[in-house]
Amino acid sequence: MSGAPRRTLRFGHSPDADDAYMFYGFHTGLAAIAGCDVEHVLEDIQSLNRRALERADLEITAVSAHAYAFLLDRYAVLSCGASMGMGYGPVVVARAARTLDSLRAKRVAIPGPLTTAALLLRIECPQCVPVEVMFDRIPAAVASGEVEAGVIIHESQLTYREEGLVKVLDFGELWQARDHLPVPLGLDVVRRDLGPELMRAVSAGFRASIQAALDHEDEAIRYALGFGRGLDIAKGKRFVHMYVNELTLDMGETGRRALARLYERALDAGVIAQVPEIEVV
């Protein structure tokens, strides 16, 4: 007699080395969610944000911390998988040295209006003119003069100098100096209609997948770099561990305080109507 049919859980994440690293355990079978198969759905973060907001069809998905403020009715936050920059984060870059204040009324590229990078820019420089550009095109858009500056995420944070660009501001550095907190960037969330038991199983399984990567570092890094864009092993390892750190296994009280601070600032900037109550699974 056969057992109960297995359920497929679709897990949306961006095709980046840090996200791939966290999925190493699922990829190798070292981690699993009992009774379920995990299907990876690869899309850039702004597409995942829109998909969660408009369709909510993925059972589990990465979203920007910014976007989650509009998703509370359908998704809960997983305690694991968060991307929090501890002294580093999205970087505003330009062709020559300048201040953030000098970008008032200037065109600044963002990787999507629901990204946390866009929210951070809105908070710190509300008078600039945001221009949506695909995240991997932003350095070229800045270098060509298509925009005056841009907010870069992912691997470009390590390579923008090689493209002739200079830093205007690193939001993670700002948060560390001013708030003594990491800057919360991305979250992994689980759909509420799965029910409490399966939601907890998802959280436990994903945490085990991340732990498997940490326990098999060399193999996990090699796997992750298959999703990177032009990073060698040294830079790839550095990039992965910028966003897979102690707060990724469990965001804990520090992560919760960082999220609360982000939403307080978003409220003050008029981006959200109220500070959301965060349910963490």
Tell me the catalytic residues.
154
Q: Strand ranges (DSSP E) for the chain? A: 7-13, 36-42, 60-64, 75-77, 83-85, 91-94, 107-110, 129-132, 149-152, 166-170, 183-191
Sheet arrangement for strand 149-152 = 129-132, 107-110, 149-152, 91-94, 166-170
- Characterize 124-144 residue by residue with b for buried, 16 or more Cβ atoms within 10 angstroms of its Cβ, and e for exposed: bbeebebbebebeebbebbbe
Query: CA-to-CA distance for 152 and 278, rounded, in angstroms?
Result: 27
| Radius of gyration, CA atoms only, the chain | 18
Judge contact between 17 and 239, C-beta under 8 A: yes
User: Which of the 8 DSSP states describes residue 75?
Assistant: E
Query: CA-to-CA distance for 258 and 108, rounded, in angstroms?
Result: 25
Length of the chain: 281
